[in-house]
Amino acid sequence: MKKSNGKIKYNIAVFISGRGSNLKSIVRYSLKNKTLYKVKVVISNKQKATGLLIAKKMRIESYYVDLTKSKKLGKRVLNILRKNDIKLVCLAGFMKILPAYFVKSYKGKIINIHPSLLPKYKGLNTHKRVIENNEKYTGCTIHYVNRFLDSGKIICQRKVKITKKDNKRSIEKKVLKIEHKMYPKIIDKILSNL
C-alpha cells in the first residue's frame, strides 16, 4: 500500500492473454483520475500478447508466465503478487481457468470481466453464440473468480442492445466500449470497501 498525495493507493495486478485493451483502460483511468489503485504488475500467459507491450510502454512490471501449466509456475506468480503487496487480481482477457490452489490463495480477491450477461454464455465465442440465438441484448459481467468457469458471484453487469444490423465485430466493439468504462470504476469501488 502506498500513499500518493495523501491518498492510499492499493497495488493491483492485471492478468492478460492477448490484446490488452482492458488493461490499457484500467491503467489510463488510474493515471487520469484519483483512483485507489495502481497497476503494479501485469502477468501474461502468452509470450506474444500485445498487452505485454502496453505494459512495457506504460513502465509496468510485467511477466510472461503460464501459471496454469504447473504448480511451480503458479507459486512463482503467487510470490510475485505477495512481494508486490497485491490487494486485487483483475483478469482482463485472461483466457485460462485458474487452478483451485491459486484461487484459494487469493480468495475473494480475484475478479474477472466476461463479455456476456452471465450466467448466459460462459466460455468462448460468446458474441457468435448470442447472434446464433437471436438474442435482443447482450453485455458484460464482472464477477468474483472461483475455480469454475465464469461462475463466481456477480458484482456488476451492463447491457447493450443488439440490432438487426449488428454482427460479431460490431457487438464486440459495443461490449468492449462498456467494459472499458465499467472495469476501472468497479476496481476502485471494490478497493474502497477494503
What residues are labeled active site? 114
Measured from the CB atom, the residue of 22 and 35 that comes closer to ligand GAR is: 22
Which residue's CB atom is positioned nearest to ligand GAR?
Answer: 93
Q: How many Å apart are CA 73 and CA 57, to the nearest integer?
A: 25
Counting contacts by CB under 6 A, is residue 114 touching ligand GAR?
A: yes
Q: How many Å apart are CA 123 and CA 117, to the nearest integer?
A: 12
Which of the stretches 31-39, 60-68, 92-100, 154-162 binds ligand GAR when contact is defined by CB under 6 A? 92-100
Q: How many Å apart are CA 125 and CA 122, to the nearest integer?
A: 9
Counting contacts by CB under 6 A, is residue 129 touching ligand GAR?
A: no
CB atoms within 10 A of CB 4: 10
Counting contacts by CB under 6 A, is residue 81 touching ligand GAR?
A: no
Counting contacts by CB under 6 A, is residue 143 touching ligand GAR?
A: no
Give residue 153's identity as a one-letter amino acid code: K
Counting contacts by CB under 6 A, is residue 113 touching ligand GAR?
A: yes
Residue 36 near residue 3 (C-beta atoms within 8 A): no
Q: Which of residues 48-67 bind ligand GAR (CB under 6 A)?
A: 51
Q: How many Å apart are CA 175 and CA 178, to the nearest integer?
A: 5
Q: Scanning the structure block, which residue is given the C-alpha cell 506504460?
A: 58
Q: Which residues contact 134 (CB under 8 A, 6 or more apart)?
A: none
CB of 64 to ligand GAR, least distance (A): 15
Q: Which residues contact 168 (CB under 8 A, 6 or more apart)?
A: 127, 128, 131
Q: How many Å apart are CA 37 and CA 26, to the nearest integer?
A: 10
Which of the stretches 11-19, 31-39, 52-60, 154-162 binds ligand GAR when contact is defined by CB under 6 A? 11-19
Site string for ligand GAR, 13-52 (x = CB under 6 A): ---x-xxxxx----------------------------x-
Residue in 176, 178, 186, 191 binding ligand GAR, rule: CB under 6 A: 176
Q: Which residues bind ligand GAR (CB under 6 A)?
A: 16, 18-22, 51, 92-93, 95, 113-115, 140, 176, 179
